[in-house]
Amino acid sequence: MCGIFGFQGFSEPGLLRRMADIMHHRGPDGEGFFEHGDYSMGMRRLSIIDLEAGDQPIFNEDHSLVVCFNGEIYNYVELTKDLKAKGHIFRTHGDTETIVHAYEQWGMDFLGKLNGMFVLALYDRRRGELIIARDRAGQKPLYYYHDHGRFLFASEVKSILESQHIERACNINAIDSYLGLRYTPQPQTMFKDISVLPAAHYLRLANGQADIQRYWDIQVPAVPPRLSRADCLAAFDETFTAAVRLTLRADVPVGAYLSAGIDSSLVVGKMREFSNNIKTFSLGFDSPIDELPEARALAARFGCDHHEVVCVPDDLGLLPKVLWHLERPIGDVLVLAYYKLAEAAAQHVKVVLSGEGADELFAGYSFHKIIRWTDTWQRLVPGVLRRNLALPILEALPVSVLNKLFNYPAYLGNKGKARVIEYLRHFGDRSLAQNYVYLRTLWECNERRDVYTDRYRCLATEALVKESATASGPLLERLLRLHFDDWLQDNLLLRQDKNTMAHSLEMRAPFLDHKLIELAFQMPPGMKIRGLTDKYIERLYAKGVLPPDSVKRAKNPFYFPLEFFYNNPRAKELVAMTLNESSVKNRGYFKYEYVKYLKDKMDAREFVYLKQVYSLVMLELWHMVFIDKQRLW
């Protein structure tokens, strides 16, 4: 695990050194550099495998190929054996060297041979050609700038910003996506002219021209496959077990994040089959929604060395530093909690396993069920009954009753109730992607138009998520594919990478083994949602791994309890610093009158208002840290 960086097409003395230094946190154990003509690249190393001889860059036998690499190739042992049998000579015992030899042997098809999480930069000295590539699920980020004959790439944007040729400016067009989605969808970033290489893609740079191609994709069957429950269980067992075994490969201690949910519990339960010495880490907020007792009990049952982290209101003061590591605003203060969790885990281990990705594969979010139910309701209940009976009944229900219908621990409030009614009323008028966004957005399109100043009202758009992935197949599979390409890659994995690497910690996600991803999309929808039960296949499998209460426990959404934090002096100070009249008007994006209205509504303790305010706080903090270059920590 490390950070990589490089540039081509120009000369800038000292740039390579600065690009390395700004990412020291990604790899404090070592560094390496390579320069050839107008091409330069380097890396920072976090030693996980082959601690003594795994320094990069790494070459092939005749030094015609050189690679810098960030991530882990979990099947490197099998690949090395195969490549040695074909005559390739290895000088190290790690995973990086498999890349150059695999490229020699199979050309661009080598990417399909890799099982892991990675970004890599492979330079062919003979051709003067650069190849950069990113893993299938997008677990490791890679950014690039390409303009005026200059090409720069890095694991973090701040490394690219070290060049005197890069303008430090906001990508104005990304603001609406941020408000609507809580993050910026790839390939754009919040930085002008800096892009993300999409997951499962490679970029080939030759003669100053960049060609980007996809090398892997999820196939959604047009007709649900007819697999029996027994077949699904057997396939899940084989694939999941292999994924956990592979992600445990390391020459350093490996721990795990453990909540009370079924995903991380299954990971720890499976780890227990291969190790008797597991350190686990759980997070809480010292609030009524905490699940720390349940996680503690499960860790004790498995005999884990368990550690708990509590996030408190004063921790809000860390947000500027967290944003410096994230490099983008994410409209959810929960990123702070993940930062604290990673900080604690890094004091004990260098690697943690996580249950990340399972919800996107096996339908673990409440909105997966809600969209399916609404679609069925729309098809089976005549429109006149929906309009004249069902909706009026919902409108008449007290918020307290409606709140109990949703598996969310925060208070829905009148604002949330109005959203639900509006969602149901216009479900049939929207596409799948639009309903998907509407059900999760903090800011409806009309609200975004209202909050913008006249100059920026034109930014507001309904088209926030691509619909190409939703064209065919069962509704649930189309929804999961959409969720996999969007929420998982652009939000969850990025925040995990940046928060763990801020503390030189590597996070691995067994559920994102590409073989398990492919298996999930070949399973019938009924193996994911059956009646009121989500993640049905996981719960079936868990009966042989977990105690009964863990199998039955419904998913409790992991969220930051702003209603318990917002009145804390540190929280008020943060809002006052970022959303005062002078700051809002000077930035120019939003009407201060509307922002003030939202701040006044915080006392209602409704989660929509609270989250809207803090999404604006995060956006302004990002501007202060990256555009204004203020040191706020």
Catalytic residues: 2
Is residue 168 exposed (0-12), middle (13-18) or buried (19+ Cβ within 10 Å)? exposed
Compute φ and ψ for 131, nearest 5 degrees.
-125, 125
SS3 category, 391: helix
3-state secondary structure 472-535: CCCHHHHHHHHHHHHHHHHHHHHHHHHHHHCCCCEEECHHHCHHHHHHHCCCCHHHCCECCECC
> Which residue, among 110, 113, 111, 131, has the nearest Cα to 122 in the 3D structure?
131
Token pair for residue 210? 């960049």
Contacts of residue 450, Cβ cutoff 8 Å, sequence gap at least 6: 591, 594
In sequence order, what E strands does 28-115 have?
A: 30-36, 39-45, 58-59, 65-73
Q: What is the DSSP string of 271-303?
A: HTTT-S--EEEEEE-SSTT--HHHHHHHHHHHT
Give percent helix, percent strand, percent coil of the chain, each to the nearest 5.
50, 15, 35
User: How many degrees, rounded to 5, is the angle at CA 483 between CA 479 and CA 488?
Assistant: 165
Q: Are 68 and 99 in contact (CB under 8 A)?
A: no
Token pair for residue 509? 């996600």
What is the C-alpha R_g of the chain? 24
Positive or negative torsion for Cα 512, 517, 523, 528: positive
